[in-house]
C-alpha cells in the first residue's frame, strides 16, 4: 500500500512557510484584476479628456485666413452662372451648359439655344429648360441622362435626384403638369384649371422621384387662396384619384416656394408663414411658423431650411431663422455681409459674395469672417473640415481655412 504523506507537515519541518489557503490566492487575483482595471479606466479617462479638450478647441477655434492647397485652370464664360451639382460644378448660360469634377476637368458639355434658362438641381442631378421653350436637358455629374421634347411651352420644371422630371406646360386654355422618367418617356400627365385646382406657381420632386409637391393659387369668392398638394407616383398613389394623396388649403396667402429637403420632408414658404410636412407616402403638416416680415431669401439642405429677413443694423444686415428637418426652430443668426449665396454645412452655414465670406455655426459662433483675394463666382464645400472650392473667372481653387 502506497505511503500517504502529510505534505503540510513536511513543508513545515523543512522550514517552508505554510501554503496560503485558496481564499487568499483568489483575493490576490481579484486585487490584481482590479488594479489593472483601474489603470485601464485611468488611461481611458485621460484619453477621453484629451479628446474632449481637442474637440472643444476645434469647436471654439476661430479662423482668420485661408491657404490655397490646389489650383485648376478654367475657361469660363463671363455671362454664365455657376451652381453646385453634387460634388461637381455646373456652369450654364443661354448657349449651353457643362460640368466640371473636383479636379476641374470637364465631364460633359451640352450646347443649346435657350433665351431664358430654367434650372433645377436635386443633389447630383439637374434639369435645364427654356421658359416658353419645348426642350428639357437632364444630366447628372457624369453626363446627359435624357433629352425631353414637350408638345407645349414650358413654364416651370423640377427634377429628382434619380432623374425624373416634372414640368408645367401651358397651351391656350389649359395648364398641364407632366412627369417623365429618367429615360425621358412621359409617365404621368394631368391638367389644371383656374376654376378648380388653380394655377401651379411652384413644384418640387422628392429626391427619389416618388412624391411631387405643387402649390396652386386660385381665387375663391374674391379671396386669393393657395393649396399645397402632394402626388404619389408609387403604389400608394395608384389607389388615389389623379395620384393625389394629400392637400392643404390656405386662405389669403401666396406660396411661391415648395421644396423637398429629403424623401419624407417638404417645406412651403408663404408670404406670412413657413409650413413643414412629413411623410414618405402621404405627407402631413408637422408644424407652422408665422412671421410678419418680408422673406428676402430661402436656403435649404437635406437637414435645414433658412429664411432670411432684414437685420436692421450695420453689423447685422440680415437675420436668418433656421429650422431643422424635424420642424424645430434652431435659432436666428446675424449675417453681416451683403451675401450672394448661402449654403448649409453639417453644423453651420456659409454666407458669401464675390469678395467676402462669413461662416457661422448653428450654436452662434462665427468661425470665419474675411475677404477673398480675388473675385469669386461660386463657393462650395469639399472633403475635409473647413475646406472649400472657389470658382473664379479663370481658376478653381481648393482652400483650407487656417
Q: Would 86 be classed as within a structural domain? A: no
Partnered with residue 148 across adjacent β-strands are 136
* pLDDT above 50 for 2: no
The pLDDT assigned to 53 comes to: 45
Q: How confident is the model at residue 75 (pLDDT cuts 50, 70, 90)?
A: confident
User: What is the overall mean pLDDT for the chain?
Assistant: 89
**70 and 49 in one domain?**
no
Q: Would 305 be classed as within a structural domain? A: yes
In this structure, how many other beta carbons lie within 10 angstroms of the beta carbon of residue 234?
14
**340 and 399 in one domain?**
yes
Give 354-398 as a DSSP string. SSEEEEEETTS-EEEEEE-SS--SEEEE-SSTTEEEEE-SSEEEE
Give 311-344 as a DSSP string. --SSS-SEEEEEEETTS-EEEEEEE-S--SEEEE
* pLDDT above 80 for 303: yes
C-alpha cell at 90: 455646373
**337 and 374 in one domain?**
yes
Question: Stretch 178-203: mean pLDDT, rounded?
Answer: 88
Q: Would 95 be classed as within a structural domain? A: no
Question: Stretch 341-356: mean pLDDT, rounded?
Answer: 97
Residues 92, 382, 98: CA angle, nearest 5 degrees? 20
The count of structural domains within the chain is 2
The pTM assigned to this predicted structure is 0.84
In this structure, how many other beta carbons lie within 10 angstroms of the beta carbon of residue 225?
17
Q: What is the CATH number of the domain that holds 386?
A: 2.130.10.10
Q: How far is residue 154 from each of residues 35, 209, 264, 309, measured CA to CA in Å? A: 76, 20, 27, 32
Q: Would 100 be classed as within a structural domain? A: no
Q: Would 252 be classed as within a structural domain? A: no
Q: Would 108 be classed as within a structural domain? A: no
**71 and 37 in one domain?**
no
Q: Which residue has the cell 439637374?
A: 126
**390 and 330 in one domain?**
yes
Q: Would 176 be classed as within a structural domain? A: no
Question: Stretch 57-62: mean pLDDT, rounded?
Answer: 62
Q: Domain range for residue 329? A: 66-76+299-402
CA 383 to chain centre: 15
For residue 2, the 8-state DSSP code is P
The pLDDT assigned to 56 comes to: 43
The pLDDT assigned to 1 comes to: 44
* CA pair distance 359, 195, nearest whole angstrom: 47
How many residues in total does the chain contain? 402
Burial class (CB in 10 A: 0-12, 13-18, 19+), 42: exposed
Burial class (CB in 10 A: 0-12, 13-18, 19+), 306: buried
Give 9-35 as a DSSP string. HHHHHTTPPPPPPHHHHHHHHHHHHHH
**366 and 323 in one domain?**
yes
* CA pair distance 387, 377, nearest whole angstrom: 17
pLDDT of 207-243, one tens digit each? 999 999 999 999 888 888 999 999 999 999 998 989 9
Q: Would 19 be classed as within a structural domain? A: yes
* pLDDT above 90 for 193: no
Question: Stretch 333-348: mean pLDDT, rounded?
Answer: 96
> H/E element holding 36?
helix 22-60
Cβ contacts of 115 within 8 Å, gap of 6 or more: 94, 130, 131, 133
pLDDT of 6-53, one tens digit each? 545 555 555 545 555 556 767 777 777 777 777 777 777 666 655 554
The pLDDT assigned to 77 comes to: 76
* CA pair distance 249, 265, nearest whole angstrom: 18
Question: Stretch 314-322: mean pLDDT, rounded?
Answer: 93
Amino acid at each position: 500500500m502506497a505511503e500517504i504523506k502529510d505534505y503540510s507537515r513536511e513543508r513545515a519541518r523543512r522550514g517552508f512557510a505554510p501554503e496560503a489557503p485558496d481564499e487568499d490566492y483568489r483575493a490576490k487575483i481579484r486585487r490584481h484584476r482590479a488594479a489593472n482595471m483601474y489603470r485601464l479606466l485611468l488611461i481611458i479617462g485621460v484619453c477621453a479628456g484629451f479628446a474632449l479638450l481637442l474637440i472643444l478647441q476645434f469647436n471654439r477655434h476661430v479662423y482668420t485666413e485661408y491657404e490655397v492647397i490646389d489650383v485648376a485652370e478654367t475657361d469660363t464664360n463671363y455671362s454664365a452662372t455657376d451652381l453646385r451639382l453634387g460634388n461637381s460644378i455646373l456652369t450654364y448660360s443661354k448657349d449651353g451648359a457643362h460640368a466640371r469634377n473636383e479636379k476641374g476637368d470637364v465631364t460633359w458639355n451640352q450646347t443649346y439655344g435657350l433665351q431664358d434658362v430654367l434650372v433645377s438641381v436635386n443633389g447630383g442631378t439637374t434639369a435645364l429648360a427654356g421658359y416658353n421653350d419645348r426642350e428639357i436637358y437632364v444630366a447628372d455629374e457624369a453626363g446627359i441622362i435624357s433629352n425631353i421634347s414637350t408638345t407645349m411651352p414650358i413654364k416651370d420644371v423640377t427634377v429628382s435626384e434619380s432623374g425624373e422630371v416634372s414640368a408645367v406646360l401651358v397651351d391656350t386654355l389649359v395648364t398641364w403638369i407632366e412627369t417623365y422618367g429618367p429615360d425621358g418617356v412621359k409617365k404621368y400627365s394631368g391638367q389644371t384649371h383656374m376654376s378648380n385646382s388653380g394655377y401651379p406657381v411652384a413644384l418640387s420632386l422628392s429626391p427619389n422621384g416618388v412624391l411631387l409637391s405643387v402649390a396652386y393659387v386660385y381665387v375663391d369668392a374674391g379671396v386669393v387662396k393657395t393649396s399645397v398638394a402632394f402626388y404619389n407616383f408609387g403604389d400608394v398613389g395608384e389607389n388615389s384619384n389623379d395620384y393625389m394623396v394629400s392637400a392643404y388649403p390656405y386662405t389669403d396667402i401666396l406660396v411661391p416656394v415648395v421644396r423637398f429637403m429629403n424623401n419624407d420632408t417638404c417645406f412651403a414658404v408663404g408670404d406670412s408663414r413657413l409650413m413643414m410636412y412629413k411623410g414618405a407616402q402621404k405627407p402631413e403638416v408637422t408644424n407652422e411658423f408665422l412671421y410678419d416680415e418680408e422673406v428676402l431669401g430661402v436656403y435649404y439642405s437635406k437637414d435645414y431650411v433658412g429664411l432670411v429677413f432684414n437685420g436692421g443694423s450695420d453689423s447685422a444686415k440680415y437675420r436668418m431663422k433656421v429650422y431643422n428637418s424635424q420642424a424645430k426652430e434652431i435659432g436666428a443668426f446675424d449675417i453681416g455681409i451683403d451675401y450672394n449665396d448661402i449654403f448649409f454645412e453639417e453644423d453651420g452655414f456659409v454666407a458669401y459674395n464675390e469678395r467676402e465670406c462669413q461662416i457661422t455655426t448653428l450654436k452662434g459662433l462665427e468661425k470665419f469672417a474675411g475677404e477673398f483675394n480675388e473675385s469669386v463666382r461660386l463657393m462650395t464645400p469639399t472633403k475635409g473640415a473647413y475646406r472649400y472650392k472657389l470658382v473664379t473667372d479663370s481658376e478653381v481653387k481648393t482652400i483650407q481655412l487656417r
